[in-house]
């Protein structure tokens, strides 16, 4: 068990606060290899909930799960030119397949077991999957192919932070092939929409959906769509992406089909993914200076019941009362009946772990057929300062009240996230304001000429990048905030993770 108690304040040291939340809620810790992460039971339970819901959505839309190998021949990566540019720099390379004891009795790499062709641990699986697509697909009758896999991915990152950026992470990656660009485009938009609905409904994260600019596109895609959330330091977090790959990989890997007119053409493809990174976003969207805050729809424990324990005689009565009378009517209910741990300590622990509702039940409550209910966040979504927010509830209405409170907490968190982002999103029309608003850690909607050089210069000067060209922004004539060249639409700028 992790007994760390102190949490830095967001306002003092945001980055340390983030790490402290992970420590006090016991979500994860650093692995022995630099940049790796050990996901601990409570953190993994959150990922399991995400996985379960998302997997169900992916299957409902007709996709089937598969499992492709971890190791990819080096030569596969060079087949799609822009793809290798994007990924080659950060790959773990397997060169040998055996260890041996050296003369000193230490364990050493066996030089005689050198691979003829080096293998790459997958940084994403487009290449190895397309290699199979080229064998699976012959005719339009074979299309669409709609597959997905839940996998671990390795990208050799230099600056890492738990969940947000780790050398190894977990994700799902969808890969599809269609008969036309239109179908592929529809699929890539549909899956982005699925991600948006998921993060809003379950993770209570409000996000902006839109298209990436060319320089932020996935290596090998024609179009990359994204959802971008705002963290409590005003930075953007790319929360999921969906790519229309056009025929780029199909051409590189010879994925062809005979169409209805008996003509051979290359397949039209998409890929899309969401990773354990989203847990970093979840933490940074809702948590406060007291610890983690979890939306009920994703929380592994929605309600924690804390019996007020006194002495053996009283305790057995109270525990039996809880067992017989307390009906919550939801999954994710646990009882913390540890003895030798004070009730204060227990409250504090579950607060740090972000459990939405705590119930306290002692002899007094038992005798009045009631329970004391405490919310992790107040009814207006603000942190709770003291225990005055408690509410006594008759057990006859408990089920109903819990349902209402969980629903209220869920929507309150989403509203907070949405309002926070909206309040910190500024429309600016001149460079001076742009610089100021970015310095103030806001999202900025500004005109951009579409020129890559301008995008680069803005990044150099302010660290802000184009997070996306939002779907919600209407066409509007204007002048680029930096170059003053004509522009047809505002795009979203922000500093980001």
250 vs 366, beta carbon nearer a second copy: 250
Least distance between a second copy and beta carbon 335 (Å): 15
- Note whether 70 binds a second copy by CB under 8 A: yes
- Applying CB under 8 A, the span of 97-105, 194-202, 407-415, 442-450 interacting with a second copy comes to 97-105
- Applying CB under 8 A, the span of 83-91, 184-192, 252-260, 317-325 interacting with a second copy comes to 83-91
Least distance between a second copy and beta carbon 198 (Å): 20
- Note whether 339 binds a second copy by CB under 8 A: no
- Note whether 74 binds a second copy by CB under 8 A: yes
41 vs 383, beta carbon nearer a second copy: 41
Least distance between a second copy and beta carbon 219 (Å): 14
Q: Are 394 and 402 in contact (CB under 8 A)?
A: no
The strand pairing partners of 152, in sequence order, are: 170
From 19, 53, 109, 334, residue interacting with a second copy (rule: CB under 8 A): 109
117 vs 386, beta carbon nearer a second copy: 117
- Note whether 65 binds a second copy by CB under 8 A: yes
Least distance between a second copy and beta carbon 102 (Å): 11
11 vs 108, beta carbon nearer a second copy: 108
- Note whether 164 binds a second copy by CB under 8 A: no
Least distance between a second copy and beta carbon 49 (Å): 12
Least distance between a second copy and beta carbon 282 (Å): 17
Least distance between a second copy and beta carbon 4 (Å): 13
Least distance between a second copy and beta carbon 304 (Å): 16
From 12, 32, 104, 323, residue interacting with a second copy (rule: CB under 8 A): 32
Q: In terms of Cα–Cα distance, which of 425, 427, 428 is closest to 442? A: 425
Tokens 């009378």 sit at which residue? 325
Over the Cα atoms of the chain, what is R_g? 26
From 41, 329, 383, 486, residue interacting with a second copy (rule: CB under 8 A): 41
Least distance between a second copy and beta carbon 463 (Å): 25
Least distance between a second copy and beta carbon 410 (Å): 25
Q: Are 93 and 158 in contact (CB under 8 A)?
A: no
The length of the chain is 497
Least distance between a second copy and beta carbon 161 (Å): 15
From 54, 147, 294, 303, residue interacting with a second copy (rule: CB under 8 A): 147
Q: How far apart are CA 235 and CA 9, in angstroms?
A: 17
- Note whether 53 binds a second copy by CB under 8 A: no
Q: How far apart are CA 488 and CA 478, in angstroms?
A: 6
Q: Are 37 and 29 in contact (CB under 8 A)?
A: yes
Q: In terms of Cα–Cα distance, which of 205, 197, 198, 148 is closest to 171? A: 148
Least distance between a second copy and beta carbon 289 (Å): 26
**Site track for a second copy across 115-144, x = CB under 8 A:** ---xxxx------x--xx---x-----x--
Signed CA dihedral, 263, 128, 174, 60: sign only: positive
E strand segments, 346-408: 357-361, 370-375, 391-394
Distance of alpha carbon 322 from the chain centroid:
36
Q: In terms of Cα–Cα distance, which of 126, 151, 108 is closest to 269? A: 126
- Note whether 170 binds a second copy by CB under 8 A: yes
For 24, list phi and psi in degrees, rounded to 5: -70, -30
For 334, list phi and psi in degrees, rounded to 5: -130, 155
- Which residues between 233 and 252 bind a second copy (CB under 8 A)? none
For 151, list phi and psi in degrees, rounded to 5: -150, 165
According to DSSP, the β-strands at 425-427 and 478-479 are: unpaired
Cis peptide before 239 (omega within 30 of 0): no
Tokens 């993914």 sit at which residue? 273
Using CB atoms within 10 A of its CB, is residue 329 exposed (0-12), middle (13-18) or buried (19+)? exposed
Q: How far apart are CA 7 and CA 314, in angstroms?
A: 36
102 vs 400, beta carbon nearer a second copy: 102
- Applying CB under 8 A, the span of 114-122, 183-191, 378-386, 485-493 interacting with a second copy comes to 114-122
Q: How far apart are CA 349 and CA 336, in angstroms?
A: 11
Contacts of 296 (CB under 8 A, 6+ apart): 302, 356, 357, 406, 407, 409, 410
Q: In terms of Cα–Cα distance, which of 205, 262, 258, 259 is closest to 229? A: 205
- Applying CB under 8 A, the span of 70-78, 182-190, 277-285, 412-420 interacting with a second copy comes to 70-78
From 14, 19, 29, 336, residue interacting with a second copy (rule: CB under 8 A): 29
Give the footprint of a second copy on this chain (CB under 8 A).
Answer: 1, 29, 31-33, 36-41, 44-45, 47-48, 64-78, 84, 88-101, 106-107, 109, 118-121, 128, 131-132, 136, 142, 147, 152, 154, 156, 167-168, 170
């Amino acid at each position: 068990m992790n007994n760390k108690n102190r949490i830095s304040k967001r306002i003092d040291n945001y980055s340390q606060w983030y790490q402290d939340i992970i420590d006090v809620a016991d979500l994860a810790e650093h692995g022995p290899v630099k940049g790796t992460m050990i996901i601990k039971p409570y953190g993994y339970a959150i990922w399991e909930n995400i996985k379960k819901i998302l997997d169900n959505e992916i299957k409902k839309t007709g996709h089937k799960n598969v499992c492709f190998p971890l190791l990819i021949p080096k030569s596969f990566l060079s087949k799609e030119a822009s793809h290798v540019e994007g990924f080659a720099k950060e790959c773990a390379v397997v060169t040998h397949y055996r260890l041996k004891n050296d003369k000193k009795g230490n364990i050493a790499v066996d030089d005689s077991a050198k691979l003829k062709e080096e293998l790459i641990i997958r940084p994403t699986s487009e290449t190895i999957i397309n290699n199979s697509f080229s064998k699976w697909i012959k005719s339009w009758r074979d299309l669409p192919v709609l597959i997905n896999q839940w996998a671990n991915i390795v990208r050799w990152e230099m600056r890492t932070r738990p969940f947000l950026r780790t050398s190894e992470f977990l994700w799902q990656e969808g890969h599809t092939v269609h008969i036309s660009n239109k179908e592929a485009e529809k699929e890539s938009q549909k899956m982005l929409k699925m991600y948006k609905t998921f993060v809003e409904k379950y993770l209570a994260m409000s996000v902006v959906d839109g298209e990436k600019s060319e320089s932020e596109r996935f290596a090998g895609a024609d179009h990359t769509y994204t959802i971008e959330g705002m963290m409590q330091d005003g930075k953007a977090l790319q929360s999921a992406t969906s790519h229309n790959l056009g025929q780029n990989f199909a051409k590189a890997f010879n994925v062809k089909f005979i169409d209805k007119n008996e003509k051979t053409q290359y397949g039209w493809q998409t890929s899309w993914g969401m990773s354990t990174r989203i847990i970093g976003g979840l933490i940074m969207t809702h948590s406060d200076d007291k610890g983690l805050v979890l939306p009920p729809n994703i929380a592994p424990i929605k309600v924690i019941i804390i019996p007020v324990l006194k002495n053996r005689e009283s305790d057995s009565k109270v525990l039996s009362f809880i067992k017989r009378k307390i009906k919550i009517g939801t999954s994710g209910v646990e009882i913390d009946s540890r003895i030798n741990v004070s009730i204060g300590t227990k409250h504090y622990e579950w607060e740090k772990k972000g459990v939405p509702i705590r119930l306290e039940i002692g002899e007094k409550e038992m005798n009045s057929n009631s329970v004391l209910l405490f919310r992790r966040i107040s009814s207006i979504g603000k942190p709770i300062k003291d225990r005055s927010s408690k509410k006594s509830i008759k057990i006859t209405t408990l089920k109903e009240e819990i349902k209402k409170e969980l629903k209220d907490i869920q929507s309150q968190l989403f509203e907070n996230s949405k309002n926070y982002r909206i309040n910190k999103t500024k429309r600016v029309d001149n460079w001076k304001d742009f610089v100021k608003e970015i310095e103030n850690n806001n999202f900025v909607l500004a005109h951009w000429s579409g020129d890559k050089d301008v995008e680069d210069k803005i990044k150099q000067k302010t660290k802000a990048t184009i997070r996306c060209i939002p779907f919600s922004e209407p066409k509007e004539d204007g002048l680029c905030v930096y170059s003053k060249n004509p522009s047809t639409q505002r795009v979203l700028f922000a500093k980001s993770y």
